[in-house]
């Protein structure tokens, strides 16, 4: 029995995804099978969990499984599960829309090299649509485990701008996805081909994946016609519970791609079994590629670390099992001791969960330490993808702050180009004789940091400076004030301490300050309350002026970012440091309108070097023009 069929349009973004999938994604097209089997496995996991509280959901059919069938005459391939199933609302929500914050970036990315396009699908939860790479029509029939037979739903689409939806009668719970294969995709009607793909991509799925096989009747049987039997074609066991000695790298990589819906290999992994008062198994992976929205979303509602209890999937529990700065980690944790009816609220308050969390953090940091020490090139790739997120741990994880700081990488005045390749340990090893502090500068960009006039004196003395130009750096450095017994000093804040001066140097400094006093007063008079103070600079050797703030004040570029985000930031005038030997500074210390213009120009140039927007750009241009023609 079937109700009247409704025809609905996809959301605009889904329609775009389908169009690109259908016409652009031609490489590695066999991954559609892995995606559909993974979805079926997830449905079985969900039913097994719900059946803990409602055992009637699996009554009469408790053997959870995935089945793959062919119909050569109809040219169809069907992937069926007897898992949780979906209601009509769930079908519309899960297939008719894409609830991913990165969908627009996904769509933009799909316009590039088609050989790379396929790798993007799994990062955005749109793996179901990969069916349209090989099929010109897809039919889905599903019934929730708690719904009557007559409440099943049929969804059908040709991958264009619309789909059909109707209510049908289906005796079996779960979901079947039938692919009407394109004429050129006959290889996926060959049992040997599908078996090989299941072995390659889905052997680690913890539920039996079954295919039909022909069994010839024994000689002498009354019925010589062949009979049909089901055959399990995967290991159907929890990979993480198997001994490491039985597992090859290919097994781990296949499992990673399954749980992470990834198309590239994992960067590294660690597989551990903990015995004692708290017994659990963990298998955690470091991805190679970051999703587009990793740095800006997912801190509160995170997925990626699956919690099992005695092989029963409970939930994606990254929020409880890992801090947010490790939200890139993927994997599974299987506990022997947690109660099967655990909820998110219980997890948050459970002492055993806190122990597991502590152990997982330690193992993740151990894995990163090992990667950094043994495979520097791989770690450099990791840092490029995930470094900005790892930096959050400096502020959020006080207990592991020193360990996290050891993993940080920065560009510096001695490194080649913008690559962040210098560790704090490397910096300390090559500190100049008598140098007591680790010097750094924060700026809006690498070039702004590398070319800052505030570095001139340090460069002249051969002192290395770390160049920090990510949005998070100023906030992070507010929590990282010391490492390995060395203070970290922002060269744009407070007095620049370059070591204990000699007696002659001290006397010369005092004399310079006395000689410059009339000049400094004159410039301050020209600038008024636009600056808090005009000082003789110890930072500058070539440039005429720069801006600095007090030791514990917020950096100027941080103030700009907060204002741009709508945050209230207290106004405070900066200090203008000047190089008294520079001709422009000497002109600014004179009397008259020209000297006032030069003084204002010195301040505005220093603001531009800091990346600030001038309050009155038009007046700045007029001032420059007056000086040029004067």
Q: How confident is the model at residue 86 (pLDDT cuts 50, 70, 90)?
A: very high
Mean pLDDT of 373-378: 95
Least confident piece of the model among 451-455, 465-469, 576-580, 610-614? 610-614
- Give residue 485's Cα distance to chain centre: 32
**Is 80 exceeded by the pLDDT of residue 533?**
yes
Give residue for tokens 């007063």: 521
Q: How confident is the model at residue 73 (pLDDT cuts 50, 70, 90)?
A: very high
Mean of pLDDT over the chain = 85
Residue 142 to residue 39: CA distance in whole angstroms: 13
Between 102 and 625, name the one with better pLDDT.
625
From 533, 536, 538, select the one nearest 553 (Cα to Cα): 533
Q: How confident is the model at residue 506 (pLDDT cuts 50, 70, 90)?
A: confident
Residue 121 to residue 103: CA distance in whole angstroms: 10
Residues in the chain: 630
Element (H, E) at 396: helix 392-396
310-342 pLDDT, tens digit per residue, is 877 787 877 888 999 999 999 999 998 887 766
Q: How confident is the model at residue 118 (pLDDT cuts 50, 70, 90)?
A: very low
- The percent of residues in the chain predicted with pLDDT above 90, rounded, is 53
The CA distances from residue 486 to 238, 461, 467, in Å, are 48, 19, 17
The confidence score (pLDDT) of residue 17 equals 67
- The percent of residues in the chain predicted with pLDDT above 70, rounded, is 85
**Is 60 exceeded by the pLDDT of residue 285?**
yes
The confidence score (pLDDT) of residue 236 equals 82
**Is 70 exceeded by the pLDDT of residue 77?**
yes
Residue ranges of domains in the chain: 6-232, 239-384, 408-490, 503-629
Residue 612 to residue 530: CA distance in whole angstroms: 14
Give residue for tokens 């003789």: 536
**CA torsion angle for 9, 10, 12, 13 (degrees, to 10)?**
-170
Element (H, E) at 503: helix 503-527
Mean pLDDT of 2-25: 68
CB 479 within 8 A of CB 400: no
The CA distances from residue 256 to 65, 86, 112, 365, in Å, are 21, 26, 25, 19
The confidence score (pLDDT) of residue 535 equals 93
Backbone angles phi, psi at 510, to 5 degrees: -60, -40
Fold of 503-629: 1.20.120
The confidence score (pLDDT) of residue 200 equals 81
Helix extents (H) in 317-416: 318-321, 344-349, 351-374, 376-390, 392-396, 401-407
Q: How many CA atoms lie within 13 A of 289 on its CB side?
A: 17
The confidence score (pLDDT) of residue 19 equals 66
CB 74 within 8 A of CB 217: no
Structure tokens at 538: 């110890």
DSSP calls for 594-628: HHHHHHHHHHHHHHHHTTPPPS-HHHHHHHHHHHH
Which CATH number applies to 6-232? Answer: 3.30.565.10
Mean pLDDT of 270-289: 92
The confidence score (pLDDT) of residue 124 equals 40
CB 580 within 8 A of CB 512: yes
Q: How confident is the model at residue 465 (pLDDT cuts 50, 70, 90)?
A: very high
Give residue for tokens 């198309």: 263
**Is 50 exceeded by the pLDDT of residue 12?**
yes
Mean pLDDT of 88-105: 64
Residue 300 to residue 344: CA distance in whole angstroms: 13
What CATH number does domain 239-384 carry, 3.10.110.10, 3.40.50.920, 3.30.230.80, 3.40.50.2030?
A: 3.30.230.80
The confidence score (pLDDT) of residue 220 equals 53
Element (H, E) at 450: helix 446-450
Q: 534 - beta bridge partners?
A: 576
Q: How confident is the model at residue 116 (pLDDT cuts 50, 70, 90)?
A: very low
The CA distances from residue 612 to 475, 617, 621, in Å, are 19, 11, 16
Structure tokens at 611: 């990346």
Q: 488 - beta bridge partners?
A: 438
> What's the CATH class of domain 408-490?
alpha beta
b/e code 108-143 from CB counts within 10 Å (16+ = b) = ebbeeeeeebbbbbbbbbbbbbbbbbbbbbbbbbbb
Residue 134 to residue 553: CA distance in whole angstroms: 60
Q: How confident is the model at residue 102 (pLDDT cuts 50, 70, 90)?
A: very low
Structure tokens at 51: 């059946």
b/e code 503-512 from CB counts within 10 Å (16+ = b) = eeeeeeeeee
538-555 pLDDT, tens digit per residue, is 899 999 999 998 887 777
The confidence score (pLDDT) of residue 87 equals 94
Give residue for tokens 């009816």: 341
- Give residue 177's Cα distance to chain centre: 31
């Amino acid at each position: 029995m079937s109700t009247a069929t409704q025809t609905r349009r996809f959301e605009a973004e889904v329609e775009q995804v389908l169009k690109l999938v259908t016409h652009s994604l031609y490489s590695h097209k066999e991954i559609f099978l892995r995606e559909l089997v993974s979805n079926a496995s997830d449905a079985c996991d969900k039913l097994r969990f719900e059946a803990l509280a409602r055992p009637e959901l699996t009554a009469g059919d408790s053997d959870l499984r995935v089945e793959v069938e062919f119909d050569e005459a109809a040219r169809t391939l069907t992937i069926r599960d007897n898992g949780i199933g979906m209601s009509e609302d769930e079908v519309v929500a899960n297939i008719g829309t894409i609830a991913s914050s990165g969908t627009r970036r996904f769509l933009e990315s799909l316009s590039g090299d088609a050989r790379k396009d396929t790798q993007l699908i799994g990062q955005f939860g749109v793996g179901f649509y990969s069916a349209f790479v090989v099929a010109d029509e897809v039919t889905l029939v599903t019934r929730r485990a708690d719904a009557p037979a007559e409440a099943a739903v049929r969804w059908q689409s040709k991958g264009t701008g619309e789909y059909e939806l109707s209510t049908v009668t289906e005796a079996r719970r779960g979901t079947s996805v039938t692919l009407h294969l394109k004429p050129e995709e006959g290889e996926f009607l060959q049992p040997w081909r599908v078996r090989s793909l299941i072995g390659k991509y889905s052997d680690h799925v913890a539920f039996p994946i079954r295919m039909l096989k022909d069994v010839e009747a024994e000689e002498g049987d009354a019925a010589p016609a062949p009979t049909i039997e089901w055959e399990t074609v995967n290991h159907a066991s929890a990979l993480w519970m198997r001994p490491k000695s039985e597992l090859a790298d290919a097994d781990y990589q296949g499992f990673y791609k399954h749980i992470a819906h990834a198309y590239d290999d994992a960067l590294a992994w660690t597989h551990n079994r903990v015995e004692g008062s708290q017994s659990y198994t963990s298998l955690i992976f470091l991805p190679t590629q970051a999703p587009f929205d990793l740095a800006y979303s997912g801190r509160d509602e995170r997925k990626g670390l699956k919690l099992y209890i005695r092989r029963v999937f409970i939930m994606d529990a990254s929020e409880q099992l890992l801090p947010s700065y490790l939200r890139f980690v993927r994997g599974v944790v299987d506990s022997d001791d947690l109660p099967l009816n655990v909820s998110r609220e219980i997890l948050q308050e459970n002492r055993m969960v806190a122990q597991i969390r502590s152990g997982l953090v330690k193992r993740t940091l151990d894995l990163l330490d090992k990667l950094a020490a043994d495979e520097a090139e791989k770690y450099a790739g990791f840092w490029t993808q995930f470094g900005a997120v790892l930096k959050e741990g400096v502020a959020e994880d006080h207990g592991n702050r020193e360990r996290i700081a050891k993993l940080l990488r920065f560009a510096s005045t001695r490194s080649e180009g913008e690559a962040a390749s210098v560790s704090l340990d490397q910096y300390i090893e090559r500190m100049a004789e008598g140098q007591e502090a680790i010097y750094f500068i924060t700026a809006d960009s690498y070039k702004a940091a590398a070319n800052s006039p505030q570095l001139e004196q340090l460069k002249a003395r051969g002192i290395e400076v770390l160049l920090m130009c990510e949005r998070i750096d100023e906030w992070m450095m507010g929590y990282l004030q010391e490492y390995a017994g060395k203070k970290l000093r922002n060269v744009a804040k407070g007095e620049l301490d370059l070591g204990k001066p000699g007696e002659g140097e001290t006397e010369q400094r005092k004399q310079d300050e006395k000689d410059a006093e009339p000049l400094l007063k004159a410039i301050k008079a020209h600038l008024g309350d636009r600056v808090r103070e005009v000082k003789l600079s110890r930072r500058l050797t070539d440039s005429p002026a720069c801006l600095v703030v007090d030791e514990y004040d917020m950096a100027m570029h941080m103030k700009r970012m907060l204002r741009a985000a709508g945050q209230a930031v207290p106004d405070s005038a900066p200090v203008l440091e000047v190089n008294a030997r520079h001709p422009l500074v000497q002109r600014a210390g004179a009397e008259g309108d020209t000297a006032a213009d030069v003084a204002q120009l010195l301040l505005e140039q220093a603001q531009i070097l800091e990346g600030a927007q001038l309050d009155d750009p038009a007046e700045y241009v007029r001032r420059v023009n007056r000086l040029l023609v004067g």
